[in-house]
Amino acid sequence: MTDDPKRVAMISVHTSPLEQPGTGDAGGLNVYVAETAKELARRGIEVDIFTRRTTGETPIVGELVPGVRVLHVTAGPYEGLPKEELPGQLCAFSAGIMQAGLSLPEDHYDVVHSHYWLAGQVGWLASDRWGVALVHTMHTMARVKNRHLAEGDRPEPRGREIGEVQVVEAADRLVANTEGEARELIELYAAPPRKVSVVPPGVDLTTFTPGDRKDARVALGLPVDGDLLLFVGRIQPLKAPDLLLHVAAELLRRDPERRRRLTVAVLGGPSGTGLARPHGLEELADELGIADVVRFVQPVQRPVLAQWYRAADLVLVPSHSESFGLVAIEAQACGTPVVAADVGGLPTAVGDAGILVEGHDARTWTDAVEALLVDEELRLELGRASIRHASGFGWDATTDRLLAVYQQAIHDRTHSPIAEGEGLVGVPRAVIP
């Protein structure tokens, strides 16, 4: 059998690549799955993406592009089921995948690629049932997130940690976004180094392109002159959008005249623990006395998102934890400088083309932002460096590396713990009475 895959089964239980990134549970994972699937299809590789059906109107089978099918599996109620409750539906989801596979030849798929730990649990079973290699991408990890919790945020449950450990053991190959994430897999999850491959995510270099800032502002109905600070992402404590508002308040405290020329835009929707206070940011803007300069914008399609990036003077990415940071690389591809937290994969995403800030002290962040706002030449220089940096992160390069991982997994496939005699998940058969 050749090591070149002809058909790939991707699994993304909790969010569909068809959903709008920036709200609910849709984010960088959605973009990653959709873009790599499309790139694989361009290479003549068929991709089936299995995801949970969340509305009765959603077709069972849809097409993302020719060669990429999205198969919606019914598992639990369509609406009102948060991600935290999805572990209880993994059996139903797995049964749905097995049912879908009954009509396929036994050797139909060459590799299973699961995304996020929930999908990894399902992928473990599917790869064993189909006798093919399992490749897994964590995207985020409980033990990492729990080390960098925002104040008042809820830690990830121990059940998720256990589930992630099991997936690490079961996978034939683990894909890490950065060298730092690879170290975390090895040090925090005891992943064998030989199983871990680094594959940086990409950016759509045909959509996220440089453009005229004033033209972008006109198109978006924004003031042509003045300073625009932008946050893009899901509204939840992990992403720290509140820091942007505190920075804006501090800027106005230092220079009240700046109010006439400052606009702060928060583009995204509530998600995760942020759903507990869906209007928390609006309330914070009122408390800080900056509601008049803040705009809250619902998630938009990517061509419009690119216009927002072009319109901004600076994009802030203040996350407490980030496996990579697609927002940062998208903004840079549009020529907009990024000020980001020095955490997780953001140093890789930002490189030397942006500013990294340690910690989440509002005054420290304000110092960095203010320095760039008053130095137009430095902003322009960083903008040019950003374009050069982002040019090396196209999805074609990501998919080339991903294909190499698939080939290695197919060639070196090991037996999963199920096949090696573990009758219960994580429990050797010898200890079962």
**Domains plus CATH for the chain?**
7-202+396-431 (3.40.50.2000), 213-390 (3.40.50.2000)
**Res. 127: pLDDT tops 50:** yes
pLDDT in tens, 158-208: 999 999 999 999 999 999 999 999 999 999 999 999 999 999 999 999 999
Residue numbers belonging to the annotated binding site:
14, 20-21, 25-30, 83, 116, 140, 160, 234, 239, 300, 309-310, 312, 322, 330, 336
Task: Say how far apart CA 380 and CA 407 lie, in whole Å.
Answer: 42
**Res. 122: pLDDT tops 70:** yes
Task: Say how far apart CA 253 and CA 92 lie, in whole Å.
Answer: 55
pLDDT in tens, 38-54: 999 999 999 999 999 88
Please compute the mean of the pLDDT values over residues 225-238 and round it to a whole number.
Answer: 94
Please compute the mean of the pLDDT values over residues 257-269 and round it to a whole number.
Answer: 95
Least confident of 91-100, 123-132, 264-273, 326-335: 264-273
Q: What is the largest CA-CA distance in the chain?
A: 76
Please compute the mean of the pLDDT values over residues 404-416 and round it to a whole number.
Answer: 83
**Res. 106: pLDDT tops 80:** no
Nearest to 413, CA basis, from 69, 105, 107: 107
> Alpha-carbon torsion 200, 205, 207, 209, what sign?
positive
More confident call, 343 vs 20: 343
Nearest to 141, CA basis, from 344, 341, 318: 344
What is the average pLDDT value for the chain, to the nearest integer? 90
Contact 96, 73 (CB under 8 A): yes
pLDDT in tens, 290-323: 999 999 999 999 999 999 999 999 999 999 989 8
> Three-class SS string for the chain?
CCCCCCEEEEEECCCCCCCCCCCCCCCHHHHHHHHHHHHHHHCCCEEEEEEECCCCCCCCEEEEECCEEEEEECCCCCCCCCHHHHHHHHHHHHHHHHHHHCCCCCCCCCEEEEECHHHHHHHHHHHHHHCCEEEEECCCCHHHHHHCCCCCCCCCCHHHHHHHHHHHHHCCEEEECCHHHHHHHHHHHCCCHHHEEECCCCECCCCCCCCCHHHHHHHHCCCCCCEEEEEECCECHHHCHHHHHHHHHHHHHHCHHHHHHEEEEEECCECHHHHHCCCHHHHHHHHHCCHHHEEEECCCCHHHHHHHHHHCCEEEECCCCCCCCHHHHHHHHCCCCEEEECCCCHHHHHHHHCEEECCCCHHHHHHHHHHHHCCHHHHHHHHHHHHHHHCCCEHHHHHHHHHHHHHHHHHCCCCCCCCCCCCECCECHHHCC
**Res. 426: pLDDT tops 50:** no
Residue numbers belonging to the annotated binding site for 1D-myo-inositol 3-phosphate:
14, 25-30, 83, 116, 140, 160
Task: Say how far apart CA 174 and CA 124 lie, in whole Å.
Answer: 13
Residues sharing a CB contact under 8 Å with residue 120, sequence separation 6 or more, in sequence order: 114, 136, 138, 163, 164, 166, 167, 170, 171
Chain center to CA of 124: 21
Task: Say how far apart CA 104 and CA 312 lie, in whole Å.
Answer: 49
Least confident of 75-89, 370-384, 387-401: 75-89
- pLDDT, residue 276, reads 61
- pLDDT, residue 277, reads 72
- pLDDT, residue 431, reads 31
pLDDT in tens, 239-257: 999 999 999 999 999 999 9
- pLDDT, residue 99, reads 87
Task: Say how far apart CA 354 and CA 356 lie, in whole Å.
Answer: 7
Please compute the mean of the pLDDT values over residues 7-13 and round it to a whole number.
Answer: 96
Residue numbers belonging to the annotated binding site for Mg(2+):
309-310, 312, 336
- pLDDT, residue 22, reads 56
CA distances from 414 to 106, 143, 172, 173 (A): 18, 26, 6, 10
Least confident of 82-91, 258-267, 364-373: 82-91
Q: Is 212 exposed, middle or buried (0-12, 13-18, 19+ CB in 10 A)?
A: exposed
pLDDT in tens, 314-372: 999 999 989 889 999 999 999 999 999 999 999 999 999 999 999 999 999 999 999 99
pLDDT in tens, 60-85: 888 999 999 999 999 888 877 777 88
Residue numbers belonging to the annotated binding site for UDP-N-acetyl-alpha-D-glucosamine:
20-21, 28, 234, 239, 300, 322, 330
Global confidence as pTM: 0.87
Both tokens assigned to 203: 């950016």
pLDDT class of 4 with cuts at 50, 70, 90: confident
pLDDT class of 2 with cuts at 50, 70, 90: low
Residues sharing a CB contact under 8 Å with residue 270, sequence separation 6 or more, in sequence order: 23, 234, 235, 236, 278
pLDDT class of 33 with cuts at 50, 70, 90: very high
Contact 335, 387 (CB under 8 A): yes
